[in-house]
Structure formats: C-alpha cells, structure tokens
Structure 1
Amino acid sequence: MSNIKIMPLGGVRENGKNLNIVEVDDEIYVLDCGLKYPETELLGIDIVIPDMTYLAENADRVAGIFLTHGHADAIGALPYFLKEHDVPVFGSELTIALAKITVSSEPKLRNFQNFHVIDANTAIDFERATVSFFKTTHTIPGSLGIVVKTDEGQIVYTGDFKFDQSAMPMYQTDYARLAEIGKQGVLALLSDSANAESPFATVNERDIAESILENFKYQTGRIIVASVASNIMRIQQVIDAAYKTGRKVVLTGHDLEKIVRTAMKLSMIILPDDAILVQPKDLNTLAPEQTVILETGRMGEPIKALQKMATSHHRLIHIEQGDFVYLTTSPSHAMETILAKTKDMIYRAGAEVKTIGDELHASGHANKNDLQLMLNLMQPQFLMPVQGEYRQLAAHADIAHETGMDYKNIFIVGKGDIVAYEKGKMHVGGQVDATDVMIDGSGVGDIGNIVLRDRKLLSEDGIFIAVVTIDRKNKQIIAEPKVTARGFVYVKTSKDLMTESAEIIKKAVQNNLDNKEFDWSHLKQDVRENLSHYLYEQTKRRPVILPVIMEINQNHRRQRKDNKAKTEKTVK
C-alpha cells in the first residue's frame, strides 16, 4: 500500500503561482511551477513565487517537474528552483519552448538541458507511479492535464482548462481520453477553479475571433491591442483580424516577439501573409488606418504599459487622439480598480477604449457546466479545488456537491497543507512552509513583511530625518540638530514645524546625555517617541523617523588642541 500525500505550495486561495506536489512513498512529482504578479499593496515587488523550501530540502526525491501549459502561472518560477537543483522538466513542445525562454533569463541556467518534450500519448514509468497526460482546451496550444497513477488510484490534475466544442484541432480536448481515465478510477481530482463562481456561459473562441474582427472593421485610426504575451490564441485572432482589414501588426516588446517567433517556428501561429509583421522602427511609415500595435508590457502584463502610453512615458508608443485601444485580456478582480484608472488615462489622452469583456464573457477557464462535466467524466472519490481564491474554491465545492459529491470528500486547503491518503481515507494532516517569496530586482526572498510595512509607511506618510552631533564625554550637543523631510511636508512652508522639531530633538538628546546610564538605543528611541508624538499632534501623520546620532572622536579633538598649542608656541 502506497503512502500518498498531496501538497499545494501555491495556487490555492490566490490567483496564479500554481505549484502542487504529489508525493508517493519516497518520490515527489511536481505539477506546475508558476508565479503571480503582485497586487498594489506589494510596493516595488516585481513577482511572487511559491516557497520551495520543502522541495529544496527533498530535491533528491523529485522525480520531475510536469508542466500543464506555457503561461507564467505554470512555468514562471522554474528558474528559481532549477538554478539550485538539476531535475528533469516535462511538457508539450510549445510549453518546453516557452520554459526554455523563461529559464534562459537566469545566467546559471543558460546551459540547462534537462528538458523533455512529451505529448498526450506519453506515459512515463517511475518507481512509484506512472505519469501520463491528456489534451485540454486553453488559450495556448499544447495544454495538457496530468495523471499520476498509483497503486491506490489515479491522481488527476487538470491544469487550466475549459470545454469548447468549436475549438481548432490544436486546441481540442480529448473527451475519449477523459472518459477512459474516469473508467480506470480516479482517487483525487485537482481541478481548475478560476471561473467557478461565474454565472455566465463562456463564449467560444470562434465568436471571440468574429468580435475582434468586427471591432477592427469600423476603426479609421490606429488600433492598440493589449494582450497577455503567452495568450497564443488571442494573438492569432488579432493577426487574422489585422490581415482581413488591411492592416500591419507591430509587436512592441522583446518578450512578445520571442514568444510569437517561437510559436511561429512550431507552426502554432500561422501568418496569413509573411509581410504582416512590421518592426517598431518602421511604425512611422504606416498610415494610422493601416496600423495595429500589439502590446503586452513587461513580463507579459499589458496594463502598466498602457498607462505609460497614455501619459507619454512609453519608449515607443504615445496614445493620441483618434486611437482605439482594445483590451483583449480579462483582468482579475484584483485588477479592476487599476483597469478603471487606466481607462480614464486613455480617455484623457483622446483615445477610445474597449475591453473584450464589454461584449463577451471570455475566459480560458472552466465555467460551472464545464466543471460538472469534468467531474462526471472523472468520477473522483475526492476533489481538491485548486487555482483560485477562496470564494472560487468554495463555489467549486458547491458545484461538485450538486453533482452528488459529499462535502466531506471535498478539500478546500491552504498553501502548505498536507492532504494524506491512508487506509482508504483522505484527511488533512500537517503543514509545510509555504509563504510567499517576493522577488524585487535581483533579490529573492529578501523582502519580508517588515520591509513591505516600511515601504507602505514611506508611501503614505514619508520620512523625517534628524541629524545630531554630540560630545558624550562632556555631555554636550556640538551642533544644532539638522532636520529634513521627504514625502512628509513641504519644508519651505513648514519652518515653524521644523524649528520646533529641532528643539524637541535637542531636549531629548540632552536629557539622555545628562543621564548617568547613557544608552544609544534608549537615546534613539526617545528621539523617535518625542518627535512622533509632536508630529502626529501637528499633522495627524506618522512619518518614518530616522535619528542619526554622531559622536565626535575625543582623541582627534585632543590631538587638534595639542597641535593648536604647538603652533601657538612656535609663533611666539
């Protein structure tokens, strides 16, 4: 009898950052290794990845990393694990091609070759389990679900999926294979929940393509399309619509061009005309009515790039009167406020703006009917909703209950929870570390809650700096305190506040100098407390207060006196 554990290290109770562990005896199978983009309160953070401490501690037991598709939420964290641990990575042809692009950003991994291309017909026998795959429909070709077959039954991970009866061949789901997996017996189903709470039916991709074409037909100026870089299906639809309306497509952004060129090389993006793609340097040679600008932004996220365009800070494109800005990506709920502000900026710049969601409910994720169909095909003993915030996981649980599944067999877990299968029963037993790891520039995990708290305070109330020089031996303040502020008050119009602050600092420092038991930390804390109390009384703000206390060097002072005395004696 196998000892089975399932551990989500990311992707539950949050959007993105998918990473699930299936542990069968002494072998670990890693399902996806993704990142997520930070929300607004994570000031200055570039991306967030899962805490992979448990994997690092057990790297010798990792049989492989198995990828469902090529989006950042499934492959984005690969470099941060692979640079320390050489383990095999498995995925479809396009997924592996995009994973190589992602991994190549890390200098240590430029020679990493442990990639393995698989397809829906592949089955890999490991010592404790057999891993196989099945085709799913998503917004990118080569999307696969994963099956880990154990002695106790199959563990199925859907990855991102939806059902679309009109999908093109390279995007089609293999329904017969799903039914076959279900007949063989599914112990646990880890299923996509990102669209579980939506009451709307998801429109099929053919209708989306027609809608994009209709929007292109009636525009007379430039069209600026914002999309996620790895949404291959949407990029193909934009290229097709541009061709049919007599326009050329300008790709802005190195990431986008690499992804498009890779997909073209694998025949997963088909150009209707080889001359349809135009370099950004040739943009000025095109008339507005001939131009489509495809923008994805840094790391594939287009919203910030649109803001830069609207405020004339973009390196290539400035939004102008007569432009039509079309967002063909559906932002998450967390981005709705930012999206509203972005639309306002675009309108101020003189352009018209529209999102694909204004007319259609477009999503790459399963709706209620799709989720119930997956459950009915798989007939799992246990369900673990993944890939979604808590309300979406809970909605998925309700959907499963409607199909006849008992709530006691549905596990809504948090990051790091260990779901163990023992003696025919599944239960939550224990937890591993699974906090968010924040990436800021080249720093990995060196930004914690304390740093974020300080950044938040600095962004809200600014900083107040007090510099004092003391002579501790003679218990004197050598020079008047110097005070300055940034992001707190405008210094030139707050002279009285600054003067009084200097007096408070002076008094606090002198009190500590007069104290027989002088303590540096006590001195700085006194300055902070006295100053903080006064500044809050006067402004109702709490800036970060930074006292800088300097002490003169007594030996240097004595030496200067001796040198002065010698000089005077020589003169005499």
Structure 2
Amino acid sequence: MSTDDTIEVVPLGGLGEFGMNIMAIRYRGSIVVVDVGMMFPRDDLLGVDLVVPEFTYLLEHRQEVKAVVLTHGHEDHIGALPYLLRELSIPIYGTPLTLGFARGRLAEHGLLQKAQLNRIGSRQTLEVGSMHLEFLSVTHSIADSLGIAITTPLGTIIHTGDFKFDQTPPDQKPTDYARFTHFAEQGVLALFSDSTNSERPGYTPSESNVRKHLDQIFHTSKGKIIVTCFASSIHRIQIVLELARESGRRVVTVGRSMKDNIGIARELGYLTLPEGVLADAREASRTPNDKLVLLCTGSQGEPLAALTKLALGKHKEFTVAEGDAVIISARSIPGNERRISHLINHFCYRGAAVYDESRWGVHVSGHGSQEELKLMINLTRPRFFVPVHGEFRQLFHHAVLAHETGIPRERILLAETGDIIALTPEKAEIRGKAPVGRRLIDEGGLAELDELVVRDRQHLSEEGVLMAVVAINKSTGRVEGLPEIVSRGHMQEDGGAKILAEAREVVLKTLRECSNEERSDSLVLTELIRTDLKRFMRKRTATHPMIVPVILEI
C-alpha cells in the first residue's frame, strides 16, 4: 500500500493500442479492476487467435484485488476474463447482458461454476474498501453499457467506459446526464474518457440512423440478403429482424456466436423476436431467395467465419449468386482492412452487391466524436483529465480537445499502458511503471504461445526454411549417403537447384572437418551445420532462411 494518501490508477492495457482494455484503481489497500479485455491479433502474429494482457501487477497485489467491474459486453472489455480468473478468484460485477456474454466465455473455459458473478445496474452502488462506486448509464453500440464514478475521501474519479451521446437509442435508454452533472457539482477529481473517435469531427450519428439505410436495401434487393455485424450488436440485430418481418423475409442465423448471443439477449429480454421470422437451415432450403436473410458472423474477414466461407463458395448450406446483397454492418478493426477488402472482391466476383460503411451508411460508430467528447468534459468539469482507449494519436488529439474546452495543459496527463498514475487533490503525475505485457493465445493448439514461437513463424513466412538431412551411423560416426537439402518458401526454382547443390557441398565439407566425436554428438553437429549453412546463404544469396539441420542416427 502507498505510504502517502494517493489514488493509484494503472492502465494495464488499452492506452496506445486498440483493445485489451483493463485498468486497476488502487486506494488504501484495495484494488478495483475496470474491464478485462482482449485484443485481436495483427496479421503478422501468425497462428495467434487472440491477445490478452499480462496480469503481473494484479498478481503482485493479489491480496488487494477486491473486485472486477465490467463496463459492457464487447470482447475488448470482457474477452480476457477467463485468463484472469484462472489466476485470481474475485467477484465480477456487470449488467445482465454483459454478464450473459461473459458467462458464455467462462463456460467455454470451464470456469463458470466457480465464477462469482454479481448483477448491477445504472445508479446502483458498490462499496469496495474506502471506494464508493456508482454505475452510470451511457449509450454505446451495445445495450447495457455503463460508466463508473468512484468516490474516495480524496475526490471522485469518473471512467466513461465506451460511450457516445445517442439521443434516440433503440432501447430508449439515453445517457444519464443527470448523474454526470451531479458529480460535476460535487467536484470531479479526474476524468478518464474514451478517445476512440477523437480525430473525427462533429457528432456520431444515432444507431437509429442505420435503420433507414438498411430499410432501403431490404426493399430494393431482388435476391437473398446477407447481413454481417458483430454478434454482440444486439441493437443492430433487432433492426435486421424487424426489417425482415416488414419485408416478408425469413432470417437464418449463420455462425455459432451469432446464435449464442441472440439466445442470451432473447432470454434476458434485450431482444424481441418477431413471430415466425427466424428459420433454420432446413426451412431456408424451401424459402425463395427473395424471401431470405442470412445473419452472419465474420465481419472482420476471419478466415474460418461463416461470411468468408460464403464469399469463397465453401459454405455447406448456402451459396452467393448474382443479384444477392451483402451488407457489412460493422467497422473495420485496424489491421483487418486488407482481409475485408479481399472478402468484398470475392463477393463481387460472384455478382453480389456489397454495401459497407464507406458509402452506404449501413454502420455507425458506438463511440463519441469530437463534439461529444467535449460535451463529456463540460458535463463533468474535471480537475484532471486522462484520455484512454486508443492509439497514442487518438489520446493526443483527445488531450488537444480537452485543452480547447479550458483544461490547463498541466492538468492533462498523456499516459501509456503500464504508467502508474498518482492522483491527489493537488496533483496528477506518473510515478513509475508497472509490469505489463501481452500473452499470445492459440485457441486451437497450445493454450499460450511464447513470443519466440511467433517470431519463428514470422521468420518462416518471410524468409522460408532450409533443411539439411544427414544420416549418421550411431556406432561409427560415419556419414551414410549424401546429405539431402530441402528448401521451402525460400528461393525460385530457376537457379535454386545450383544453390542447393552448393549448400550440399557446404554440409559435406562441415562433416569432413568434424571429428568422430563431434559427428557422434547430434547437438554439436546440428549447431555446426546450422552455422556453416547460415554463413553460406548470407554470402551466396543475401537471404536469412531458417536453417533446420535434421540428424538421423541409424
């Protein structure tokens, strides 16, 4: 525990990057963790399914960690929860829909039975040590989203969560302006505010605006309609279901997460299914194309998702034909633009009309633009301001907006993941660095990947591999036959045979110069061959393939 009376705020992810949002707030021996998010991997993280934060800071203070509070149910805020609960047994607090989505994640990891899940809602409160938490309703692209006001004897911190100011939200539950202004009247020590759209001028359109654009497509399309969005976008899914009913179409859900989330939202009362609108694959086979809607996962071009299989003509039950409409009702997560572009090309090749956010208004952001970010600052009037959630460019532009609203530069703190932010009524400063990092998860194989494994995969993808297969008589140390040199992903066929023949001579020379003792020690021989081949390839071809000697002891 800190020797002086300060509030420590430690972002363990989400600052300087999109995703992996997690923040620890520590005061007088108690820690509240706000969100436990994951991040989708970049294309160069080969074979990695998701990225989760390191929890070293929390494990070092495990006795002080009292609660996890979840602002909403998006994967970048709840997706790493199972990996934290493997390490710590702590109560989890969230709204019903957020916990519903988290429950599914925990069940997949066999952790549901031991998880301590507690429902909270807007304007409800929670006491954690000397911290008093109140949950504040905000509008976002997912229902049941919250901001959090954390009051201590030193003052109140407000964490906005992800938000925008939607005046006509589909569920008629607008942001709780009254409570935000209430805390402003009491005095807000620090505001930690969502920076995602800090570079976008003006206001973010309402979720309700999407309906009129989708409605036009539904009424003009002559073939089947394929809609993809995030499976957690319950508001968007509700709009699609209602438009399908109005246009006399049946809806088939394609993709496990879409089916699961619709089931969860329906059970909890967040989604209303028009009678007779849902159909299964068998019913769909008897439904004319102009009466059919496919609601799919895979908006980010994930290789094994339903949408990609449809685009490539590999789906078992449905095909895409000329006259069909494909609606990509989701934003491109940074890094996925190329995959999505390829996806659109494949749909166009099959004659489908593709509608995305770039031209057709079929998606709106769930994050506030510049004028809304200024409004949040003016509503809360904080003494100190810390932008969160975004790459450094978004954090920087949000800091500029805060200064424009009147906050002095010396009271604006540009922090990064791992910074230990110390808050008192007089000062906000960075007091060192907490241990942070990321864990690379391969859900299809090993539970966790080492950075070295990923670097090896990158090396193989960029430079290829050169294998030298050598048979050694174990008893005599003699070489049996000629070494075999195998190259994959490294050189063109033209000229390649000559270089491989030269590489064989290099290996033979290495073997001739080895003593019987060296030849009989496979570890030593492996390293000698690797070193000589590596030197040869660098000089001869100016390339750096991965060298893999294979010693067969016979």
- Shorter-chain TM-score category? over 0.9
Matches within 5 A, 1:156-555: 156-271=158-273, 273-297=274-298, 301=300, 303-304=302-303, 305=305, 306-360=307-361, 362-422=364-424, 424-441=426-443, 446-470=448-472, 476-489=478-491, 494-513=496-515, 523-535=525-537, 541-551=543-553
**Offset at residue 540 of structure 1 (A):** 5.1
Contact kept in structure 1, 2:518 and 2:524, CA below 8 Å: no
Contact kept in structure 2, 1:468 and 1:481, CA below 8 Å: yes
SS of residue in 2 equivalent to 1:251: strand
Q: Which amino acid aligns with 2:321?
A: E
Q: Which amino acid aligns with 1:421?
A: L
Contact kept in structure 1, 2:170 and 2:235, CA below 8 Å: no
Picking from 139, 142, 150, the partner of 1:140 is: 142
What's the CA shift string for 1:206-225, capped at 9, x where partnerless?
A: 22111111111110011111
What's the CA shift string for 1:97-145, capped at 9, x where partnerless?
A: 11111111112x1313411111112111232111111100011111110
Asked if residue 101 in structure 1 is aligned to residue 97 in structure 2, the reply is no
Q: How many residues align?
A: 548
Partner of 1:565: none
In 2, distance between residues paired with 1:39 and 1:517?
43
SS of residue in 2 equivalent to 1:212: helix
In 2, distance between residues paired with 1:449 and 1:283?
45
Change in CA separation of 1:480 and 1:303 when aligned onto 2, cut-off 3 Å: closer
Partner of 1:12: 15
Change in CA separation of 1:347 and 1:485 when aligned onto 2, cut-off 3 Å: same
With normalisation by structure 1, the TM-score equals 0.90
Matches within 5 A, 1:73-84: 73-84=76-87
Structure 1, gaps ≥5 residues long? 553-572
In 2, distance between residues paired with 1:289 and 1:524?
64
**Offset at residue 351 of structure 1 (A):** 1.5
SS of residue in 1 equivalent to 2:214: helix
SS of residue in 2 equivalent to 1:483: strand
Query: More displaced, 527-536 or 373-382?
Result: 527-536
Partner of 2:38: 35
In 1, distance between residues paired with 2:328 and 2:146?
27
SS of residue in 2 equivalent to 1:411: coil
Change in CA separation of 1:418 and 1:144 when aligned onto 2, cut-off 3 Å: same
Contact kept in structure 2, 1:308 and 1:314, CA below 8 Å: yes
**Offset at residue 511 of structure 1 (A):** 1.4
Query: More displaced, 53-62 or 14-23?
Result: 53-62
Query: More displaced, 311-320 or 359-368?
Result: 311-320
Contact kept in structure 2, 1:250 and 1:283, CA below 8 Å: yes
Return the structure number with greater helix share: 1
SS of residue in 1 equivalent to 2:252: strand
Contact kept in structure 1, 2:250 and 2:278, CA below 8 Å: yes
**Offset at residue 62 of structure 1 (A):** 1.3
Query: More displaced, 330-339 or 311-320?
Result: 311-320
In 2, distance between residues paired with 1:302 and 1:476?
53
Picking from 48, 51, 58, the partner of 1:48 is: 51
SS of residue in 1 equivalent to 2:402: helix
Q: Which amino acid aligns with 1:464?
A: L
Contact kept in structure 2, 1:311 and 1:318, CA below 8 Å: no
Contact kept in structure 1, 2:36 and 2:78, CA below 8 Å: yes
SS of residue in 2 equivalent to 1:366: coil
Asked if residue 90 in structure 1 is aligned to residue 70 in structure 2, the reply is no
SS of residue in 1 equivalent to 2:346: helix
Q: CA RMSD in A?
A: 2.4
**Offset at residue 459 of structure 1 (A):** 1.4
Q: Which amino acid aligns with 1:173?
A: T
Matches within 5 A, 1:56-75: 56-75=59-78
What's the CA shift string for 1:405-442, capped at 9, x where partnerless?
A: 12222222221110112472111111112111111126
Change in CA separation of 1:477 and 1:168 when aligned onto 2, cut-off 3 Å: closer
Change in CA separation of 1:333 and 1:471 when aligned onto 2, cut-off 3 Å: closer
In 2, distance between residues paired with 1:162 and 1:122?
21
**Offset at residue 451 of structure 1 (A):** 1.5
Contact kept in structure 1, 2:301 and 2:343, CA below 8 Å: no
Partner of 1:562: none
**Offset at residue 22 of structure 1 (A):** 0.4
In 2, distance between residues paired with 1:516 and 1:79?
49
**Offset at residue 336 of structure 1 (A):** 2.1
